[in-house]
Amino acid sequence: MRVPSSMISWLVAVAALLALPWLVTSDYYVNIASQIVIAAILALSLNLLIGFGGMTSLGHAAYLGVAAYLSIYLTAHAGFGHLAGALIAIGATTVLAMLFGFLALRASGLGFLMITLALGQILWGVAYRWASLTGGDNGLGGLKRPHPFGLNLMDPAIFYYFVLAFLGIALWCIARFVQSGLGQSLQGTRDQPRRMRALGYEVWLIQWLSFVFAGFWGAVAGLLYAYYHQFVSPQTLHLTTSAEALLMVIAGGTGTLLGPVVGAALVVILKNIVSAYITRWLILLGVIFVAIVLFMPEGLVPGLTRWVRALRNRPPADKPADAPSVAKGPAR
């Protein structure tokens, strides 16, 4: 059982999320909230690999982009219905995750990172060059948001609730996964792969199943991304998208359930604010990466907390070294 105080803060958080369209009246902010929710689903799925599996992937945009491309192509250009298009897109992307997982898990640590990056960038090249199918640099559009159960998803508030429901399901499923035997053994393979192997666990299979599960949720995020933007371009598949997702995970603190949600909010809000003033988001993204690694390798939120504590001259309540950090995570 949870302690009541955390129960209350949960209820307050959920109530605030539900009341958000009334609190902010402008459609612009409701749309940003939808962007955050979709990004959060992507970050949650990536955190399964990075935080709980110790597998740093730099190709997670693949699932977002492929699902988005497929759903738009199938429904807007190949004449499929919305439900069929969505199911096929998610199913096919999950199959792609099975293949990519098979390839990437031939290596571990840095090799895993290189293979995921290479696979992701090849997909980007395919989307960019195979113009007859993907529209090339112009991207693919023409998707109309569906009307599930008579809901008008063109309404920003209703769309927000729609994606929020998916975030709730994703959180529930991923929390269940992490607590399940498979999720526990995944964390075991992250910390002690050799010992797990010696104990008779099929390390490869555990990692592969988790990889596919993460790919599935990446695909769900991609479907919602397609509905939100009603458009997809090669940029969605690009390394920068993978890097942004990675930043969300690191920013919120890896290996926690809600960290990626906070990280997604931070990154999306920052990107929207910055883009309103300057066009150099990519430079800022790079500077943030360098700064995080150099100054707060345990993540932005835990790092800032540590700084605030240090400024107040208080001894830290918990040792930051215990938090799984990306920088010091298992390399090989």
How far from each other are the two terminal CA atoms of the chain, in whole angstroms? 37
Nearest distance from C-beta of residue 238 to another protein, angstroms: 7
By CB under 8 A, is residue 168 in contact with another protein?
A: no
By CB under 8 A, is residue 92 in contact with another protein?
A: no
By CB under 8 A, is residue 294 in contact with another protein?
A: yes
| Percent of residues in the chain assigned helix, strand, coil, to nearest 5 | 75, 0, 25
Q: Give the residue with the Cβ less far from another protein, 126 or 158.
A: 126
Q: Using an 8 Å Cβ cutoff, are 218 and 93 in contact? A: yes
Q: Give the residue with the Cβ less far from another protein, 55 or 163.
A: 55
In the block, residue with structure tokens 């397609």: 226
By CB under 8 A, is residue 274 in contact with another protein?
A: no
* The one among 288, 306, 309, 320 contacting another protein by CB under 8 A: 288
Nearest distance from C-beta of residue 103 to another protein, angstroms: 5
Nearest distance from C-beta of residue 162 to another protein, angstroms: 33
By CB under 8 A, is residue 237 in contact with another protein?
A: no
Q: Give the residue with the Cβ less far from another protein, 30 or 117.
A: 117
Task: Report the residue count for the chain.
Answer: 332
CA distances for 310 relative to 291, 305, 307, angstroms: 18, 9, 5
d(CA 67, CA 206): 24
In the block, residue with structure tokens 């299979």: 205
d(CA 190, CA 196): 9
Nearest distance from C-beta of residue 301 to another protein, angstroms: 17
CA distances for 20 relative to 16, 23, 302, angstroms: 6, 5, 26
Site for another protein in 176-235 (CB under 8 A): none
Site for another protein in 133-152 (CB under 8 A): 133
Question: Chain centroid to CA 181: how far?
Answer: 23
Token pair of 88 as six digits: 């096929």
Burial (CB count within 10 angstroms: exposed 0-12, middle 13-18, buried 19+), residue 229: middle
**With contacts defined by CB under 8 A, how many residues of the chain interact with another protein?**
50
By CB under 8 A, is residue 326 in contact with another protein?
A: yes
Q: Give the residue with the Cβ less far from another protein, 131 or 308.
A: 131
Q: Using an 8 Å Cβ cutoff, are 236 and 135 in contact? A: no
Q: Give the residue with the Cβ less far from another protein, 133 or 199.
A: 133
* DSSP 8-state code for residue 328: T
Site for another protein in 106-135 (CB under 8 A): 106-107, 109-111, 113-115, 117-119, 121-122, 124-126, 128-133
By CB under 8 A, is residue 323 in contact with another protein?
A: no
* 3-class secondary structure, 119: helix
Applying CB under 8 A, the span of 153-161, 174-182, 214-222, 280-288 interacting with another protein comes to 280-288
Q: Give the residue with the Cβ less far from another protein, 70 or 153.
A: 70
Residues interacting with another protein, by CB under 8 A? 56, 58, 103, 106-107, 109-111, 113-115, 117-119, 121-122, 124-126, 128-133, 238-240, 243, 246, 250, 280, 282-283, 285-290, 292-294, 297, 326-329, 331-332
